[in-house]
Amino acid sequence: MSNLIPRRMSLFDEFFRDLAPGFYIRPLHGEPLPQQIKLDVSESDNAYTIAAELPGVNKDAIHVTVENNVVTISAEVKQEDTKRDGDKVLHSERYFGAVSRTLALPGDVDEAQASAKFENGVLTLTLPKKVAVAGKRIRIE
């Protein structure tokens, strides 16, 4: 049995829904960006792999920076309806948004070998681990 209590509209909500139904129309472009980018992070022997969900984002609006072991993913969305000549706009919804996420990986990343692929709203980063250089023993004379 579910412990969830069903949410009912208040009398106030019902009044305004009936009075001004245009205010309850869902956005034409779907939901805006989430408050935080959802990530899956995995590690193999030689690389880290990050899969980040960025639905509705254009590939050119995604920015990724890597510095040592810190990865930052940011994205901006600008969705507008186009208007043709002679059209009369009856309802228009646009939204602009930016979201970013920064995380620290357990080890340093080889930035020169890093790669990224964006497909179906998912950004996949392959970040090879930086090869640790063993310290050179100094001969004492």
CATH of 29-81+93-128, one of 1.20.1440.230, 3.90.25.10, 2.60.40.10, 2.60.40.790: 2.60.40.790
Please, what is the end-to-end C-alpha distance for the chain in angstroms?
79
Q: What is the per-residue pLDDT across 90-107, written as a single tens digit (0 to 9) for each? A: 665 666 778 899 999 999
Domain boundary assignment for the chain: 29-81+93-128
The answer to whether the beta carbons of residues 33 and 97 sit under 8 Å apart is: yes
Give 53-73 pLDDT, tens digit per residue. 988 788 999 999 999 899 999
Predicted TM-score (pTM) of the model is: 0.64
